[in-house]
Amino acid sequence: MSEYRTIKVATDGGVTIVTLNRPEALNALSSAVLEELIAAFAAFQADDGQRCAVVTGEGKAFAAGADIKELAATSAAQFYAADGLSRWQSHLVRAVRKPWIAAVNGFALGGGCELAMMADLIIAADTARFGQPEIKLGTIPGMGGTQRLARAVGQARAMELILTGRMMDAAEAQGAGVVARVVPADGLMDAALETARTIAAMPPLAVLAAKEAVHAAANLPLEDGLVLERRLFHLLAGTEDKAEGMAAFIEKRTAEWKGR
């Protein structure tokens, strides 16, 4: 049973499923949604039995952005004093070491596109639309859009999308490198859950290290990223799971992971 108001949280084996649940507002990301997502992600991170999460949206949107009615009522002084929007990065990205998937079912606009890009990978319905329309509101993306979109699609296309507010369909988003996989809309959750279950069945420490190393590629100079990768590789050499994985391969049997 979910105790949340603006999201729904369920588990399926080792997979946590979070559904943004304000369909009447196209799942606009209000501060209440943020607080509930922070709680849900903290619970996911803390539960050793949970290995991967999927975030999706109820209705025709994944999320149509930050809640414009809240944004309209927030002054510059309030934003600055609270370091507004910083908690998305600190609680949904930095604090979450386990992988999570955005299953984008429809509009992923503004903060919704930014939330999807915070995920470790995006699986999109063929009906999904991605965009950063903030410019039309007299502002710019504030939850990572200018940075993550530019890294994902390159400066030229990011600049065009952010300056014009144009939406990309799922096929374009996949071709541009934002989306890992596009599937028919009615098969979206099955596809996302299948991927999540596959990840959840992998050795947990190797999963953490893989996520950490791939994210470092966006932040570190190549030489430093290569050192980090090697150090994590060295670290994993000392784990029981690495010994088990290699022994199982040699003995032609299924490995049993312990997470140590």
Residues annotated as part of the active site? 66, 111, 114, 134
**Is 213 one of the binding residues for ligand CAA (CB under 6 A)?**
no
d(CA 236, CA 240): 9
Q: Which is nearer to ligand CAA, 153 or 206 (by Cβ)?
A: 153
Q: Which is nearer to ligand CAA, 114 or 241 (by Cβ)?
A: 114
Find the shortest distance in angstroms from Cβ 66 to ligand CAA.
4
d(CA 8, CA 22): 10
Q: 3 phi and psi, to 5 degrees?
A: -95, 10
Residue 25 one-letter amino acid: A
Counting DSSP H helices and E strands in the chain, the numbers are 12, 10
Q: Which is nearer to ligand CAA, 99 or 141 (by Cβ)?
A: 141
**Is 26 one of the binding residues for ligand CAA (CB under 6 A)?**
yes
**Is 153 one of the binding residues for ligand CAA (CB under 6 A)?**
no
Q: How many residues does the chain have?
A: 260
**Is 58 one of the binding residues for ligand CAA (CB under 6 A)?**
no
Find the shortest distance in angstroms from Cβ 105 to ligand CAA.
13
By CB under 6 A, name the one of 34, 64, 153, 200 that touches ligand CAA: 64
**Is 5 one of the binding residues for ligand CAA (CB under 6 A)?**
no
3-state helix vs strand vs coil in the chain, percent to 5:
55, 15, 30
At residue 37's C-alpha, the angle toward residues 33 and 40, to 5°, is: 140
Q: Which is nearer to ligand CAA, 44 or 88 (by Cβ)?
A: 88
d(CA 92, CA 143): 11
**Is 106 one of the binding residues for ligand CAA (CB under 6 A)?**
no
d(CA 155, CA 250): 46
CB 210 within 8 A of CB 52: no
d(CA 39, CA 4): 9
By CB under 6 A, name the one of 14, 57, 99, 111 that touches ligand CAA: 111
**Is 114 one of the binding residues for ligand CAA (CB under 6 A)?**
yes
- The window from 4-12, 72-80, 110-118, 184-192 that contacts ligand CAA (CB under 6 A) reads 110-118
CB 125 within 8 A of CB 171: no
Kindly write out the interface string for residues 219-238 of this chain, putting x where it contacts ligand CAA by CB under 6 A and - elsewhere. --------------------
Binding residues for ligand CAA (CB under 6 A):
25-26, 28, 64-69, 71, 85, 107, 109-111, 114, 133-134, 137, 141-143, 145
